[in-house]
Structure 1
């Protein structure tokens, strides 16, 4: 029966290959320790040893923040995909295809409509895994659509930012999304509705210089990197050593650029509290 043992061994080997051991573990980017992937997921993707907040994408974020069964993703807007026919070491269209394959998302900003502890909200989430969360035509259009849906629903627009800045492959068109998003925020204010920002690691460049810092309430996750230019660029420009923790959430909070820094486990309840304060009994009246 040696042939039967060979089949059994082959099946066992295949099973091990389908579930590689490294998927069971995650190396924390904060402390460098190995953490069970399941334990990390159960802890909201926060390291149970050092409290480092791992970067997470829109699907996970929607599930963590919005009430279960209450939300539906909004369709991603259609925009020109390669308006400048840009090419560096790769074609821009090839980079987009690779990012879509890796993330299973249309672009770097997704919106969903739902509730947070009963409070209605339209929520946008940027995904750093999609070309560094960079802001191009698709992100700008998704932001505007998110605001428009919030105005139609008479509810706040909430956004979780995570970006390396503007998308260089779209040149000036990417920079045009900065004033577009600013105008959209003004439309939200004209409608008497709140705009709430949660800055996550990292939020930099043109996103910081526009909609990331224009919230009625500015919240950040612990130790999130937040800034415009990089620390080395600033130091070489001003020829001075920057303070410890410069551009981290806690430093910005201490210097008046943020309203609060909130741990991920408390974020859902804090957002519901903030929306309740800003909207009063609007949700109850709508119900």
Structure 2
């Protein structure tokens, strides 16, 4: 019976001083499901050291990875979207913009800055998926256009980091016109013989893929990125054929000639610096 009785008196169990693990300190890899400590993620540039899965990150992280010493000057930081169509669905567009700004700390789905990478001057525009799915609205197009103007004026190469669900439906035709606007500006950049590198990350879809994301002098992507224009269901209904497995992955896209390179994020800065040295010299 001793097995079923506590013979030592005075043992008290309490949870009053129990400390919970703060949110965000440990995360699970979406691919291999193994636990990852936050410090390990930062040190490994948000790539799982077990399976190599590239986690989604935003402009803050990309700027810290690519700009020397994380030093840069942001361009057009306070540019925000209007509501030219007075779009209303379940919630007014202006209300959604304000809420998203408060939630993310961003003004829109893109940030741009100039600085140096590997000692070489560079302009970077980077999209943020957390801001309404990285959707391309008038501010995204305008900031890219201004980046290109800056690159031409100062003879500085331009790097575009795309991460988007496509055009922003709340701006309708205003959003779609950004495809033509940015493509025309990139033509001017090409005429000025200034290098343009396009980096496609997970996901890059819709009008973004159909415009500036695929117009680089060099088009590169991170491993496993989803890259495409329309969704699989729409494509299947259009061509009336079954689609091959993984047909919208970076690896499949490269195999069929739409990408030049796939580059591991941990090697990105070194590879990009190498590309720029070859292109500028």
Q: TM > 0.5 between the two? A: yes
8 Å contact from structure 1 (residues 77, 138) kept in 2? no
Partner residue, 2:260 = 259
2:28 is aligned with 1:30: no
8 Å contact from structure 1 (residues 76, 142) kept in 2? no
Relative to structure 2, which stretch is displaced further, 256-265 or 185-194?
185-194
RMSD, aligned CA: 1.6
After TM superposition, what 4+ stretches of structure 1 lie above 4 angstroms from structure 2? none
Describe the superposition over 1:35-89 as per-residue Cα deviations: whole angstroms up to 9, x where unpaired. Answer: 1122112110111111110111111100001111542211236355111110111
Number of paired residues? 267
Relative to structure 2, which stretch is displaced further, 135-144 or 77-86?
77-86
Distance 2:189 2:23 in 1: 46
Distance 2:100 2:255 in 1: 36
8 Å contact from structure 1 (residues 77, 141) kept in 2? no
Structure 1 unaligned residues grouped into runs of 5+: 1-8, 281-287
Q: CA deviation at 1:216?
A: 0.5
Partner residue, 1:214 = 215
Partner residue, 1:78 = 79
Q: CA deviation at 1:21?
A: 3.4
Describe the superposition over 1:223-281 as per-residue Cα deviations: whole angstroms up to 9, x where unpaired. Answer: 1000000112212322322112201101111111100000001110000011011101x
Of structures 1 and 2, the larger Rg is shown by 2
Describe the superposition over 1:177-230 as per-residue Cα deviations: whole angstroms up to 9, x where unpaired. Answer: 010001110111121101110000000000001000000000000010000001
What TM-score do you get using the length of structure 2 for normalisation? 0.91
Q: Whose helix fraction is larger, Structure 1's or Structure 2's?
A: 1
Structure 2 unaligned residues grouped into runs of 5+: 1-14
Partner residue, 2:230 = 229
8 Å contact from structure 1 (residues 77, 142) kept in 2? no
Relative to structure 2, which stretch is displaced further, 269-278 or 79-88?
79-88
Distance 2:78 2:268 in 1: 28
8 Å contact from structure 1 (residues 196, 217) kept in 2? yes
Q: Secondary structure at the match of 1:23?
A: coil
Partner residue, 1:6 = none
